[in-house]
Amino acid sequence: MQKLKRILFNRPFILTLWFGLSLFAVAKDIITHFANKETSHNNYIIYKHNFLNLIHQQSLFGPEPQYYFDLNHYGPVFGLIIAPFALLPNQIGVILWVMFLAYILFYAIIKLPLNDFQKTIILLLNVNSMMGSSGNVQVNPLIVALVIFSFIFIKNKQDFWAALMIMIGTAIKLYGIVGLAFFFFSDNKIKLVLSLIFWSAVLFVLPMLVSSPAYILKTYHDWYPDLLAKNATNLVSTRGNVSVMGMISKIFLIKNLSNMLVLAPGLLLFGVSVFRIKYWRNTQYQLLLLASTLLFTILFSTGSEPPTYIIAFIGVSIWYVNLKRPITVYERFLLIFALVLTNFSPSDLFPRYLRDKYVIPYALIALPCLLIWLKIIYEMLTRDFGAETADDRLQADVAIAVKEI
C-alpha cells in the first residue's frame, strides 16, 4: 500500500497522467474520425472559424453547418488567441491547442502559494477532469487558469498584469470577470482600476488590427443577444443549466424559477464572507476565497454545463488541500462525494444508467460542489486563521494527508 501511495503522489507520474491522458483523449478522437472519414473535434472547428470569420469580417455568431454544428459564443479577442493554432492543419492544431490548455492550467496550479505536495494533490484530483476537457477540446482550462493568474498577480502586487488576466478572461467567456473578487487583496486599488480600464481599451481595439473598427463594433453589438439566446437554450436543455437554480427547478419541477431567488442569497453569503478585513493578507483566507470564487462562478451560472465543472473542481481541490489537518469525517465525505458525482459522473467511469436517469436530468453534478461551497463560506466566516501557524497554513503534514486521501 505504501508503495502504491509513493507512485500515486510522485510528481513525474502525475505529470505523465496529466499530459499523457490529455494527449490520448484528443488523439483517440482524431484517429476514430479519420478512420470514418469525418471531421473531428467540432469545438476546435468552431474556435478556428472564430479566427477565420474575424479576419474575413463575417459574423462570429451565425450558424455555419458546412463546417460545424452548434454555434460560436466567444468574442473576437478569442480569435486572436486561437490564431496560432488555427493557421495549422486541423489534426496538428487541435493537438497543440489541447496541450497548450493542459500546460497553462498546470502552470497556474504550480504557481499557487502552496507546497509541492499540495500542488501534486490538486493535479491528481483533476486528472480525470483535464482528460475529459481535452477529449471535448473545451476552453474551460484556459478560463480557470486566467482566474488563478489574476489571483496570483494581485497577491504578488502585480496589479497591471492581474488586470490583463481579468480582461482576457472576460473578453473570451465573461467568466473571467470573477477575478475582480480579489480586488480587496490589492495594495494599490487605484492602479488596478486604471489597469483594468487600460487593458479593456487595448483588447477592444486589438482585433480591429486584423478586421475593422466597424466590424468589431457590430460584433460586440451582436454578442449580447447571442449570449441571451444561448442562456435561454440552456434553461430548457436537459444537459444545460447545471447550476443551483437548475438543480432546484429540475428536482422540484419548478417552472420559470426566478434566478434572483437563488442568486441573491448566494451573492449575500459570498459578499459577507469576503469582509473579514483582518485576514485579507492571510494566505489561507485568500486561497479559500479563490476556491469559493471558482465554485460560485459555476454554481450560480445558468450557462453551466458538465464540462464547465473543471473550473469548480479546481476550487474543490484548493479547498481540500487547505483544510486543517486532520480532516473530519464530513470533510472526507464531501471530497469523495464530489469526486464521484461531479468529477467522474460525466465520464465512462460512472454507470451510464445512473448518469442518464438521475445525474443529468436533475443536475446533480452541482450538489457536492454546493455543499463544499457552503462549507467554505462557513470556514471563511468562523475559522481563526490568525491562530494557525505558518506550518499549518502552507506545510500540510504529508503523512497525514496521504493517509486521508
- Cell numbers that stand for 305 in this block: 454545463
Contact residues for 255 (Cβ-Cβ < 8 A; gap 6+) = 249
Tally the residues of the chain.
405
Buried b (16+ CB within 10 A) or exposed e, 369-390: bbebbbbbbebbeebebeeeee
Whether the CB-CB separation of 240 and 361 falls below 8 Å is answered with no
Whether the CB-CB separation of 176 and 206 falls below 8 Å is answered with no
Whether the CB-CB separation of 82 and 50 falls below 8 Å is answered with yes
- Average pLDDT across each block of 10 residues of the chain; the chain has 405 residues. List them in order: 60 91 89 59 93 96 88 94 95 95 97 95 96 92 98 97 97 92 95 98 97 96 90 80 94 90 96 93 96 97 92 98 93 97 92 94 96 98 79 45 45
pLDDT at 401: 44
pLDDT at 394: 44
Q: Which residue type sits at 149? A: F
pLDDT at 174: 86
Please tell me the number of Cα atoms within 13 Å of 34 on its side-chain side: 8
Is the overall model pTM greater than 0.75, yes or no?
A: yes
pLDDT at 396: 45
Buried b (16+ CB within 10 A) or exposed e, 345-356: bbeeeeeeeebe
